[in-house]
Structure 1
Amino acid sequence: PTYFIAGNNGTALVDEILNGFGWRRIREKNDELFKLKWSELKASIDYNNFREGEQLVNHIPNCEILTNKQGLLNSLQEYGKINAANHKQPVKLDFFPETYKVDDPKDKEKFLATYKEDDIWICKPTGRNQGKGIFLIWNSEECYKAVTQDNSPNPTRFRPLNRIIQRYISNPLLINNRKFDIRCYMLIASTSPYVILYHKGYIRLSMYNYDKNSDNMLTHLTNQYIQKKDPKYGERKEDTVWSMDKFNDYANRNFAESKNVGRNWVYNGLTEKMKSIIMVCFNSVKNKLQRRLGYFELYGMDFLVDENMKVWLIEINMNPSYTINCGALKDVIPGLLKETLDIAIECFEKGRRRKPLLPLNSRQNYEVLY
């Protein structure tokens, strides 16, 4: 079998894995005879010429209803309304911070009516990741600027970026006085039929002590893309990513009693909550995602816990970083990618033969959710 890889994110790892399967890499980008295409961007995939049941591609064509910040907001809001209208058990969407679409005049008005002088808000472009274009709003002057400015880097060349404004969670749970978040994963291994899996991932920490009034974005944004810009990153990088086991040990020592969550809260409480939120997100789009045998996708899910132990979903990434900057990432990323490809290929081959997809023989660290 042949495969084609486009982009730079995780390319060497994916190449090594597929080569290890005995597959052959093709390098001509217009060659549509591949069996599997792994690309950083959806734009590299020609969905019109996709051959269902013969090919695999690692992006679902309309995945932005999950991964675009505005798309996710719309999907969750619509799902909540539909459930309420059908008199079903109301879906709790209180895991998503209060959010407004800056480019929607009604939403902008609602935000301005809500805004109070001492509030902290965060403004984000809707279709970007790695913390690009994000800034905090501390006062009414910045608030006015955020809702009125044309946020494009060069208005003649770029259309303005759509933006959302989100209530900033200014009371995060801290580890050694530093802010952290959790990057776990949702894998849609097959869309026809659906197979959804969860991977526990790792946690990401800021290098600096948290201060909600600090104008250093490194105290507020924990991802590696932002952290590695700091000159001290080289000497501190091993402490910017922890395994979930290390986090669980820390939580047992520091939170089990003081926060009254008991031992192994990371796996018993936090993980269960994250999995239930992932399922709400999936259910909000499962009837809308385009479904063909051979579509699969791995999403980076970013969660935050506040000091009251409430779990928040921050965002869903369609192209999560597979960069390996430190030991904890080396322990997670290569295995994650190999198991992702193993499972996607297994689902595909079983689907072609109309065999039941479960149980999955290649599953090791993933957990089946659906």
Structure 2
Amino acid sequence: MVHPTKIRTSISLSSAVEINTTSALANHAIEAATEEMVQTFQPELQVDIKAKISALVSEVATSSTADRSKMSYCTDLDKSVLISNFEKRGWSQAGPDDDWNTKQSLCSLLTINHFPNHYELSRKDLLVKNIKRYRKELEREKDPLAERGDAPGKYIYLDFIPVTFVLPADYNMFVEEYRKSPQSTWIMKPCGKSQGAGIFLINKLSKLKRWSRESKTPFNPTLVKESYVISRYIENPLLIGGKKFDLRMYVLVTSFRPLKAYLFKLGFCRFCTVKYDTSIQELDNLYVHLTNVSVQKHGGEYNCMHGGKLSVQNLRLFLEGTRGKQVTDNLFSNICWLIVHSLKAVAPVMANDRHCFECYGYDIIIDNGLKPWLVEVNASPSLTSTTVNDRILKYKLIDNIISVVLPPDGIPDSHCLAKTGAIIQDFDVEHQDVKE
């Protein structure tokens, strides 16, 4: 996006793409769309934004017929899988001189690839908070989904995230849990970072205390620089070839209320380059424990031909051959289950803008018992292509997203994201709430 802070300061758009057409709108439709959109901005900006929109109504209304029927896009992410999909549809790119943000803010034909507060799902501490709240709400309602297991704190149906605490706020609760099983390993992650940055493992409380001392600022020794989540480490991950891996699954959400989500069929596994080893000597070896490509590509064993990746289809074939078809089907059903309920957990707090859609990158680890665990959710999954197969997959992903989000004629309208007749291709309709 061109200068996102000038207009949509209430929205974080790290890899935003806006798709638009400047069709003429009736005055009452413009006013309704304007009022709805203005409410999504910070209160102190609303008057100024509304004035700018009103000043531009006459300019848009008098634009030429040719201009009004032309599709255009704006992106701050120059990735080939994006641009090639736009160009094959004959779309034109809006440049920095087109005042894109201001002109298009008034138009109900705007479609943007992020929900305003997507961080409720993608920020690690908020994801945990929302899932915990979701469980408690279901318990209060005596919903059978919230049935407890035999072990303290365990859920039978909603146990899909490791035991997690937010530091420093939950430090005392973490220590209490740690002392129940002092031999366990825990993994620390900064709440607001990605691509493996700032992650480390601990197996002793003294290491956490040392981190706490090192994290305090010189100006305020009681203030920790940033929040972390600390989770019980999955020490028995499923291994292939002796190496740890996780799954990257893509989920498209076009509405949170009602919830409508699609699961992309063509996910992949990301492998570590060094064989799994739980010994203390390897506790700090990120090439053993972290599957992020941004970490593994710096290792001496990294293979740039396949990028340390395996398709989900091939994983499924491998598991069917080694574990059996029934348990493999159960695994993938459980993956769909955790995706749906993680989305339901955040649905009440998400700003459900009808002009928005979002593709999330789900990171999932499978343990040796074929139980899936949700690790984190990315609101801006990487579109960088590290291999030929990677490029093909991500091109198809973007192509399918556009086909779902836009109607067949390629021109969005204010209700297009809620339509059920979209072309789905490589997406499965994973969940769709039915209105009573």
Alignment counterpart, residue 138 of structure 1, candidates 203, 209, 220: 203
Contact kept? 2:74, 2:94, Cα under 8 Å = yes
User: In the superposition, relative to structure 1, how do residues 354 and 19 fare at CA in structure 2: closer, same or farther (>3 Å)?
Assistant: closer
User: In the superposition, relative to structure 1, how do residues 12 and 307 fare at CA in structure 2: closer, same or farther (>3 Å)?
Assistant: same
Alpha-carbon displacement from aligned partner over 1:270-310 (angstroms, at most 9, x marks no partner): 22111111110111122221122220110000111111221
Secondary structure of 2:83's counterpart equals helix
State the 1:265 CA deviation: 4.5
Largest Rg, 1 or 2: 2
Q: CA RMSD in A?
A: 2.8
Residue 325 (structure 2) pairs with residue 263 (structure 1): yes
Contact kept? 1:350, 1:356, Cα under 8 Å = no
Distance 2:278 2:237 in 1: 9
Q: Which residue of 1 aligns with 2:114?
A: 59
Alignment counterpart, residue 238 of structure 1, candidates 303, 306, 312: 306
Residue 175 (structure 2) pairs with residue 112 (structure 1): yes
Distance 1:209 1:88 in 2: 43
Secondary structure of 2:407's counterpart equals helix
Distance 1:136 1:89 in 2: 35
Q: Which residue of 2 aligns with 1:321?
A: 382
Q: Which residue of 1 aligns with 2:86?
A: 18
Distance 1:272 1:210 in 2: 27
Matches within 5 A, 1:1-370: 1-7=71-77, 11-28=79-96, 31-32=99-100, 50-51=105-106, 53-91=108-146, 92-104=157-169, 107-116=170-179, 117-150=182-215, 160-190=225-255, 194-200=259-265, 201-213=267-279, 214=282, 215-233=284-302, 235=303, 237-238=305-306, 240-254=308-322, 256=323, 262-263=324-325, 265-266=327-328, 268-346=329-407, 352=414, 357-360=419-422, 362-369=423-430, 370=432
TM-score (normalised: structure 1): 0.84
Distance 2:380 2:83 in 1: 17
State the 1:61 CA deviation: 0.7
Distance 1:146 1:343 in 2: 46
Q: Which residue of 2 aligns with 1:38?
A: none
User: In the superposition, relative to structure 1, how do residues 352 and 208 fare at CA in structure 2: closer, same or farther (>3 Å)?
Assistant: same
Secondary structure of 1:238's counterpart equals coil
Alpha-carbon displacement from aligned partner over 1:57-103 (angstroms, at most 9, x marks no partner): 11111111111000101110111111111222233331100000112
Contact kept? 1:180, 1:222, Cα under 8 Å = yes
Contact kept? 1:131, 1:223, Cα under 8 Å = yes
Contact kept? 1:97, 1:167, Cα under 8 Å = yes
| Greater helix fraction, Structure 1 or Structure 2 | 2
Distance 2:92 2:295 in 1: 36
Distance 2:120 2:107 in 1: 22
Distance 2:172 2:364 in 1: 28
TM-score (normalised: structure 2): 0.72
Task: Give me the identity figure in percent.
Answer: 26
Secondary structure of 2:145's counterpart equals coil
Contact kept? 1:305, 1:312, Cα under 8 Å = yes
The letter for the 2-side match of 1:110 is M
Which blocks of at least 5 consecutive residues in structure 1 are unaligned?
36-48, 257-261
Contact kept? 1:68, 1:127, Cα under 8 Å = yes
The letter for the 2-side match of 1:71 is L
Q: Which residue of 2 aligns with 1:39?
A: none
